[in-house]
Amino acid sequence: GYDNEHNDLILYVNMALDPTNARGTGGGGGAAAAAAAAAATTAPLPPPASSGTAAAAAAATAAPLPPPPPASEANNAPPSGDPSSRPPRRYTVTDMLGSGTFGQVVRCTDSETGKTVAVKVIKNQPAYYHQARVEISIVQMLNSRYDPNGERPIVRMMDYFVFQKHLCLVFEELSVNLYELIRHNGFKGLSLNLVRVFLNQILQALQTLRQARVVHCDLKPENILLRRLDTSGDVKLIDFGSACFTNKTVYSYVQSRFYRSPEVITCSSYDCAIDMWSLGCVAAELFLGLPLFPGASEYNLLCRIVETLGMPSNTLLAQGKETWKFFYHKNAAANVTASAAAAAAAPAAPPP
């Protein structure tokens, strides 16, 4: 029953969780990137596209966003002259939430609303800046066109701005992620009732993405956050930094390894189905407490998948540009190569 689901959640959240300790995070940007959020002024969001068609969704990636302003502009230049003429400081950094290959995430106070927000500060590098532009377009489209009332379990983007050539994205503040919940439960897994509550909401989010023809490309427990550290059990899907439209899949190397689908491993074409694969892996991990396919490498990962689920379809193998790295043809059937089998026998890396 629902009461039991709430009681289960009380057991997991009645502890002080550390929101900065999560898997899969790389080095972040420098201190200047975090400080950028403190003194920034904001720019208006681009207007939403007018229709829900595939063409309109694809066009959203081209929504006009400002390029990084030149160093001579006021928001990038050191303050000078009359203090009353300086741009107002809307966001004040209060804490560091985490870091990754993209940059850093800081907790800030919005002086206009008094609310606490999470500001994602992107590294000042062209590749990260370009992908952040795509993330802005996708999240803004999802929020405005597919979830105008904020009822679906997808993170809300409040604002964005450029400061000292760092693109900064402002999101609603959420609580801990599901990996942290598992970790603080001793990697024993969560109750079936609670897993059901979480999965129902994640499926709603993926249904919305499918309607919008968007592929998240990085679904994992770290990217599913509780709205609040209470007994509601409400979660939201975050981090659309790797997301793309189904008709514009630019990158072949996507998804975190434990949740990577056979299509991505073999470099086949992919769509929203790879998010469903990741969801299956997440579902098992929530219940078991450990990853379903903890591959130490792509060879090891694919061998674990084949051992558990059997061979991928011949159609998928024929489409894969990198199928040859893992399989060869013998008697008209694809088989795992000896090197892959050897990799499967190697012990997997322990969970972080």
Distance (Å, rounded) from C-alpha 140 to C-alpha 333?
46
Task: Convert the pLDDT of each residue in 181-208 to its tens digit.
Answer: 999 999 999 999 999 999 999 999 999 9
Average pLDDT score over residue span 22-36: 38
Tokens of 206: 């993926």
Answer whether residue 269 shows pLDDT above 50. yes
Query: Which residue would you say has higher pLDDT here, 259 or 89?
Result: 259
Q: Is residue 337 packed enough to be buried (19+ CB in 10 Å), middle (13-18) or exposed (0-12)? A: middle
Average pLDDT score over residue span 243-262: 91
Q: How confident is the model at residue 342 (pLDDT cuts 50, 70, 90)?
A: low
Q: How confident is the model at residue 100 (pLDDT cuts 50, 70, 90)?
A: confident
Q: In DSSP terms, which residues pair with 248 in a beta bridge? A: 245
**Does the active-site annotation cover 271?**
no
| All structural domains of the chain | 2-17+175-345 (1.10.510.10), 31-52+60-172 (3.30.200.20)
pLDDT value, residue 69: 39
Distance (Å, rounded) from C-alpha 170 to C-alpha 121?
9
Query: Which residue would you say has higher pLDDT here, 148 or 252?
Result: 148
Q: Which of 8, 218, 239, 275 is catalytic?
A: 218
Task: Convert the pLDDT of each residue in 288-323 to its tens digit.
Answer: 999 999 999 999 999 999 999 999 999 999 999 999
Distance (Å, rounded) from C-alpha 234 to C-alpha 205?
12
pLDDT value, residue 232: 75
Average pLDDT score over residue span 67-94: 52
List CB contacts of 219: < 8 A, sequence separation 6 or more: 202, 206, 237, 255, 259, 275, 278, 279, 282
Range among 6-15, 53-62, 128-137, 246-255 rated most confident = 128-137
pLDDT value, residue 251: 78
Distance (Å, rounded) from C-alpha 184 to C-alpha 164?
38
pTM: 0.74
pLDDT value, residue 331: 57
Q: Is residue 34 packed enough to be buried (19+ CB in 10 Å), middle (13-18) or exposed (0-12)? A: buried
Distance (Å, rounded) from C-alpha 69 to C-alpha 197?
45
Binding residues for ATP: 120
Average pLDDT score over residue span 324-337: 70
Answer whether residue 94 shows pLDDT above 70. yes
Tokens of 225: 């956050």
| Per-chain mean pLDDT for the chain | 79
List CB contacts of 225: < 8 A, sequence separation 6 or more: 155, 174, 175, 176, 177, 178, 235, 236, 238
Q: What φ, ψ does residue 239 adopt, rounded to 5°?
A: 60, 80
Residue type, 67: P
Nearest to 5 by CA among 291, 200, 284, 276: 200
Distance (Å, rounded) from C-alpha 115 to C-alpha 17?
21
Nearest to 140 by CA among 57, 203, 220, 197: 57
Query: Which residue would you say has higher pLDDT here, 14 or 237?
Result: 237
pLDDT value, residue 7: 52
Q: How confident is the model at residue 27 (pLDDT cuts 50, 70, 90)?
A: very low
**C-alpha distances out from residue 175 to 123, 225, 232, 234, Å:** 24, 6, 12, 10
Range among 11-20, 273-282, 327-336 rated most confident = 273-282
Nearest to 352 by CA among 24, 12, 19, 18: 24
pLDDT value, residue 53: 37
Average pLDDT score over residue span 35-46: 39
Q: How confident is the model at residue 275 (pLDDT cuts 50, 70, 90)?
A: very high
Binding residues: 120
Cβ contact 266:316 at 8 Å = yes
pLDDT value, residue 36: 38
Distance (Å, rounded) from C-alpha 284 to C-alpha 278?
10
